[in-house]
Structure 1
Amino acid sequence: MREPNHVHPAAPGAPARWLTVAPERTVLGVIHNVTSATRLLDLLTVFDGDRRVQTVFTRTGSSPFADGIAEFAAARELPFLPWDEAVKSEFDLAVSTSRGGDLHSISAPLIGAPHGAGYNKRLSSREPGAGSREPGAFGLTAEWLVHDGELIPSAVVLSHEEQLARLRDGCPEALPAAHVVGDPCMDRLRASLPFRAEYRAALGVRPDQRLLVLSSTWGRHSLLGAAGDLVLRALAELPSDSYRVLAAVHPNAWYGHGGWQVRSWLRPHLDAGLLLPPPAGDTWRAALCAADAFIGDHGSVTLYAAGLGLPGLLGAFDTEAVAAGSPMAALGAALPRVSPTRPLAAQLELAARDQPTDPRLGAATSQITSHPGEASARLRRLCYRVLALDEPAAPIAPWPVGVPQDLPPTPRSPVERPLFVEVRVTSGGGAGEPDGGVGGVGATGPNRPTDPTAPTELLIRRHPAPARAAATPCPALTDAHVAVTAGEPEARWALAADVVTARAPAAGPHVAALTAELFTAHPGCALVAVPQEDGGCHLHTRSGTFYLASWDSPRAWTAPSLTASVMYACLLQHGDDWEGDVLVRLTPDGAPARLRVRRLGADPVPYSN
């Protein structure tokens, strides 16, 4: 229990002997919720390396999204003061990235800054009908800047010159206190772009894959609130070997419902490959630098993504919540909405083609910052002026975002997720309509390849089957087969499987026994694959034909389950008596991998050691 006379050792007025370093100034960082806390720490980097300045933190207690603050502070070891203790002390400077709470009670010059990409949302603390004026942008009106006729902040930080006009309309008495410094978050994002490859590798995105970021702010009209099915749709429609999908969820949505609950709701999507970083860290920023496209809403992440030049779509957009004349309003008018009827990949491709030259997008994103790359330097100058201290001699510049390390580990399932596998013959070996079958089905049709020595080239597209089955509507797949791993727990996939892959390698007489067991357990299965210790794969058709397959240069994606699907497609194309080489791509422009297949006949003896 706290003693009545206890004060934090770093609080103003505490006995000097309690501290190891004797700072000359004390700064108070004011936290409203986790959203504001993340931006606040961005701003306070202006004091990094200066032993003259001690920073302590407090929370206003005014946000309904209070969960997560204690964990956030503890994880970062923030020196924390209770609000009632903080308002009894005098500080040399206070910094807040929100306007909520009794900020007028703080005894210090207060710098007020935004906690997003400028001032884009309308928000009022008044009850409906209380007053005649419509609420302006949150943070730019007298409602949030004035208390009892007195201006609360000593300095109002703006990111772009355009905000001066809106501040003049909403709170003209605050104009003398306005300082246009730029946007430190945008500066960090741009400074991070050269490290795209490092971020992609940390997120598990291969060079031949595309990363799609789904960004959701909070509230009923956000992407998660109004268009949550888009998460499922993206995972279902976009081939999982070609795309990774990451959801960047606003802290208010995350902590408002609870991280456990958000993960529980999205558990089927996580099983289908969704990346879901916790919102308190920097992973969403690294993801934007790593991304190839985005689908967003009226949250700041959408504006930052567009500002980085990423092509994107709007999955939701709350016009009523967006301040008129703001960059977000301009972005909402420029970005296309997701069509419920057109394939998602086609919409993203169209966005990538058309948006780089769209002048409306350029006009909207140009209003993110008036001083690119200069926000930290300008903000430091302002802070030290208020503190009446000389600035450190060393220059300050935006620092790149750290390589992500906070992606929670996903428990590895003992079975791979069931897949719908679509195979297209792109060239060689008689590209065209399949004429044969697996397991003795006809293999002498009119489309048999005229040059059996030419290597077949295949483009493989795989989709998580449960996600695909749950998403409606969903574009139909062409002649897709179902591939599962032995032990698939859901009967609907186990019984429908065309291809089954054993979970562990086997050799010698164990191969034939395992094959028979799997054919019995999966009555609809036509092909069974059994991995070898050396990376090769035994393949068996239900009619009793045996093959040995191996990759010339194994890659991360040349797993036994892919080998099985490639073999199944080749046997459909060429018939049971085929053997040879096949070139496989997972993306149309990706480098192919060569699979070599040898037919061993119907006698299992060659498998004996």
Structure 2
Amino acid sequence: MGPEPLAIRVPVGEGSHRWTSRSTRRRVLLVVHNVTSAGRLLDLVPLFHDDFRVQLLVTSTGSSAFQDGVRDLLHELQLPELPWEQALSTPVDLAISASFGGELDLIQGNLSVLSHGVGYTKKLAKPGAGSREPGAGSREREARETQDPQVPGSAGPGARGRTPDAEAGGPGPTFGLSPEWLLPDGRPFVDGLVLSHPEQLERLARVCAEAVPSAVLAGDPCYDRMLAARPYRDRFRRALGVRRGQRLVVLNSTWNPEGLFGNGGGRDVLPGLLPRLAAELPLDDYHVAAVLHPNIWYGHGPGQIRAWLDRARRDGLALIDPVHAWRQALLAADLVLGDFGAVSYYAAALGTPVLLTADGTDVLDAEAPLADFVRHAPRLDPHAPLLPQVARGIEAHRPDPAPAGFVTSVPGRSAELLRGHFYALMDLPEPTAAASLEPLALPPYTPRTVTSPLHVRTRAEGTDIVVERSAGHPPGAFGDAHLAVHEETRRPGDLDLADVITRDGRADDPRLGGPGAWTAEVLRLHPHCATAVYVTGPDTCVVRSRAHGTFRLAAETRAGVETRAGAGARAETGAGTGAERGAGVGADADPAAYASALHAWLAYGGKVPARGVVLRAHTGGGSHPFRVEASG
């Protein structure tokens, strides 16, 4: 994370009144534990927008094991940052935290704590907490500074890493809803414990009645932002490079050795699952993305995550920003392959099909709704054929109303209720304008680039060509085969075996000399290659065939007509109906798929007339008409 910043002098600090341009009536301190908890605090900042009476401040406890990424996030907030020592000595009117990490009970001001996930669901003993003599006073400070409530087994000096309960496999306390977390020194220290549903209040009352008076039912701002963004699902899909008719499968893992990304409990699913997904899910029918918990991303390091997933990324896996874009990916998803983390439950609450790859029963509060969901949700068998399971998981899904009912009891009202709660703690009248949250941003457009060799199967009937591409040899593949290789393949030797060589670029890219020069050079450099393909845009490419000349290909966006070949292709792949998957509504496929269709059609004896011809590439996602015209 880097060295702790120096104490600030403006807008708080010694003599700050001499330097500030505006005086304010209230100070609000955002307490960051790590990137995970900070993500929830980012949801809350708009509740204080346009209020000239309030000065926002931010600090980091430094107590989490996951410090990478925190400094960048604080820089993004662009709020005055207090070192933790200064934060503890600075009086504030309100402090807000989305974690129990750090010495929160030493903050000089009212404290509100909310969950950074979907309520309070996980069992976790408080690190460094042991039996103490009554009236012994505050914990030793150095013990507190080493604790991390998000790391099972982290503890203070002298601890062995796990509590006796944990060693014995006992139930353990629920993080955030138990005396261990809420009653340091035997008395409550949180002035406002934000809950999203009365069931959490019921669990709290059973185990820690002393904290009930501080509980506030105020909904879930994270979920409310997703609900508000549901009308923009198609925009999010296009931003992620998902084409019409494709299905988006989102892999999700919480941080935990037992999660999908982990290799604890004697199982290690992910390394074998990723290449099989790339081989068994046809490339033009499915788009696969990964949403990893920030503690995975920043705990192991973004560079390490990319290194571990290099092959998967070359196969087309999209890595989603774990702070700013995961909700948009969840809204865009057709299916989530997840585990026992909050994201899987949010997906179910949104009505998205979920197949679980890990259940995590040992780390969940058995009474939490998430635990009930995990007990009953359908599973993915990683050893059985994947395509039928994925297709069945989508098509047989019937939304369960329970998750949506338990995520929040007040959907759409968290902004109103949270702002009312915060301003009550500050003893300040609320602004007259209605409270609102920031809309989810539209992520930047990120088209999928696949640089792994693609195994292509085709079958032609007139001007209709069935195309199935995958980064591997799926079981039960049909049709005539050719190998299509991107010029930036990891193994240059693949180019010597390729029937089709592709690359993406602007038509006027001076480094490549343009489509004509590049395609001619490729055929000269690689004698085995029959077809060179320069993809110039989302729906266009230039194709040079060694035997047939050069052609321009462009998607036909007019409504097409469903053909017998297209209907048969979907029947064979089990990809659903044309109405569901976009057949007959114009082309929206990868131009490289059009090129493979043309390559096969020419090999079957097709001839391009002088006026050009419209061919149809058929994938499980529908029929994609494209025009072929001679070039040069």
TM-score (norm 1): 0.81
Q: CA deviation at 1:89?
A: 1.9
1 CA distance for matches of 2:345 and 2:522? 55
Q: Please name the residue that 1:225 is paired with.
A: 262
Equivalent AA in structure 1 for residue 463 of structure 2: T
SS in 2 for 1:592: strand
- Structure 1 residue 539 and structure 2 residue 545: aligned? yes
Equivalent AA in structure 2 for residue 483 of structure 1: A
2 CA distance for matches of 1:273 and 1:512? 27
1 CA distance for matches of 2:183 and 2:445? 39
| Residues 505 and 47 of structure 1, relative CA distance in 2, 3 Å threshold | closer
- Structure 1 residue 493 and structure 2 residue 503: aligned? no
Deviations 1:121-140 (A, max 9, x none): 11112533169973232100
| Residues 12 and 179 of structure 1, relative CA distance in 2, 3 Å threshold | farther
Q: Please name the residue that 2:216 is paired with.
A: 179
Equivalent AA in structure 1 for residue 526 of structure 2: L
Aligned-residue sequence identity (percent) comes to: 37
Q: Please name the residue that 1:385 is paired with.
A: 424
- Structure 1 residue 155 and structure 2 residue 158: aligned? no
SS in 1 for 2:343: helix
Q: In 2, are the aligned partners of 1:581 and 1:596 still within 8 Å (CA)?
A: yes
Q: Please name the residue that 1:587 is paired with.
A: 619
Q: In 1, are the aligned partners of 2:219 and 2:409 still within 8 Å (CA)?
A: yes
- Structure 1 residue 456 and structure 2 residue 463: aligned? yes
Pick one of 513, 528, 531 that aligns with 1:528: 531
SS in 2 for 1:325: coil
- Structure 1 residue 129 and structure 2 residue 161: aligned? no
- Structure 1 residue 188 and structure 2 residue 225: aligned? yes
Q: How does 1:200-219 map to 2 (within 5 A)?
A: 200-219=237-256
Deviations 1:366-418 (A, max 9, x none): 200000001111111111111111111111234420112497x99x89xx542
Q: In 2, are the aligned partners of 1:120 and 1:326 still within 8 Å (CA)?
A: yes
CA RMSD of aligned residues (A): 3.4
Q: CA deviation at 1:354?
A: 2.9
Q: Please name the residue that 1:518 is paired with.
A: 526
Q: CA deviation at 1:592?
A: 2.2
Q: How does 1:427-442 map to 2 (within 5 A)?
A: 429=461
SS in 1 for 2:458: strand
Equivalent AA in structure 1 for residue 163 of structure 2: P
2 CA distance for matches of 1:218 and 1:261? 15
Q: Please name the residue that 1:442 is paired with.
A: none
Deviations 1:6-27 (A, max 9, x none): 5431226653232122110111
SS in 2 for 1:366: helix
Q: In 1, are the aligned partners of 2:239 and 2:443 still within 8 Å (CA)?
A: yes
Q: How does 1:158-557 map to 2 (within 5 A)?
A: 158-226=195-263, 227-229=269-271, 230-280=273-323, 282-357=324-399, 361-405=400-444, 417-425=452-460, 429=461, 455-464=462-471, 468=472, 475-479=475-479, 480-485=481-486, 490=491, 493-500=494-501, 515=523, 518-519=526-527, 522=528, 525=529, 527-529=530-532, 537-541=543-547, 546=548, 549-551=551-553, 553=555
Range with bigger deviation, 562-571 or 210-219: 562-571
SS in 2 for 1:175: helix
Structure 2 unaligned regions, length at least 5: 128-161, 264-268, 504-511, 558-586
2 CA distance for matches of 1:482 and 1:389? 68
2 CA distance for matches of 1:24 and 1:184? 26
2 CA distance for matches of 1:77 and 1:88? 22
| Residues 15 and 424 of structure 1, relative CA distance in 2, 3 Å threshold | same
Q: CA deviation at 1:326?
A: 0.9
Equivalent AA in structure 2 for residue 296 of structure 1: G
1 CA distance for matches of 2:535 and 2:15? 69
Equivalent AA in structure 1 for residue 408 of structure 2: T
2 CA distance for matches of 1:175 and 1:104? 17
Equivalent AA in structure 1 for residue 531 of structure 2: V
2 CA distance for matches of 1:512 and 1:8? 65
Range with bigger deviation, 369-378 or 559-568: 559-568
Q: CA deviation at 1:236?
A: 3.0
Q: In 2, are the aligned partners of 1:12 and 1:26 still within 8 Å (CA)?
A: no
| Residues 400 and 378 of structure 1, relative CA distance in 2, 3 Å threshold | same
Q: CA deviation at 1:550?
A: 4.6
Q: CA deviation at 1:109?
A: 1.4
2 CA distance for matches of 1:199 and 1:507? 34
| Residues 240 and 26 of structure 1, relative CA distance in 2, 3 Å threshold | same
Deviations 1:494-538 (A, max 9, x none): 343333459876769x9889746532xx3xx5x334769996534
| Residues 492 and 367 of structure 1, relative CA distance in 2, 3 Å threshold | same
Range with bigger deviation, 100-109 or 335-344: 335-344
Q: CA deviation at 1:304?
A: 1.0
**Matched residues, number:** 545
Q: In 2, are the aligned partners of 1:12 and 1:91 still within 8 Å (CA)?
A: no
2 CA distance for matches of 1:195 and 1:419? 32
2 CA distance for matches of 1:397 and 1:420? 50
Deviations 1:522-561 (A, max 9, x none): 3xx5x334769996534235xxxx3565546467977774
1 CA distance for matches of 2:83 and 2:5? 13
Equivalent AA in structure 1 for residue 244 of structure 2: P
Q: Please name the residue that 1:604 is paired with.
A: none
2 CA distance for matches of 1:3 and 1:176? 36
- Structure 1 residue 108 and structure 2 residue 109: aligned? yes
Q: In 1, are the aligned partners of 2:495 and 2:526 still within 8 Å (CA)?
A: no
Equivalent AA in structure 2 for residue 26 of structure 1: R
| Residues 532 and 206 of structure 1, relative CA distance in 2, 3 Å threshold | closer
2 CA distance for matches of 1:391 and 1:309? 35
1 CA distance for matches of 2:443 and 2:202? 38
SS in 1 for 2:526: helix
Range with bigger deviation, 140-149 or 236-245: 236-245
2 CA distance for matches of 1:335 and 1:130? 28
SS in 1 for 2:287: strand
Pick one of 589, 600, 603 that aligns with 1:569: 600
Q: Please name the residue that 2:583 is paired with.
A: none
Q: In 1, are the aligned partners of 2:28 and 2:95 still within 8 Å (CA)?
A: yes
Q: In 2, are the aligned partners of 1:278 and 1:406 still within 8 Å (CA)?
A: no
SS in 2 for 1:273: coil
Equivalent AA in structure 2 for residue 236 of structure 1: A
Q: In 1, are the aligned partners of 2:233 and 2:332 still within 8 Å (CA)?
A: yes
Equivalent AA in structure 2 for residue 363 of structure 1: A
2 CA distance for matches of 1:266 and 1:589? 27
Q: CA deviation at 1:491?
A: 5.5
2 CA distance for matches of 1:424 and 1:166? 60
Q: CA deviation at 1:486?
A: 5.9
Q: CA deviation at 1:476?
A: 4.5
- Structure 1 residue 10 and structure 2 residue 17: aligned? no
Q: CA deviation at 1:164?
A: 1.2
Equivalent AA in structure 2 for residue 478 of structure 1: F
Q: CA deviation at 1:42?
A: 1.3
Deviations 1:413-444 (A, max 9, x none): 9xx5421112244xxx4xxxxxxxxxxxxxxx
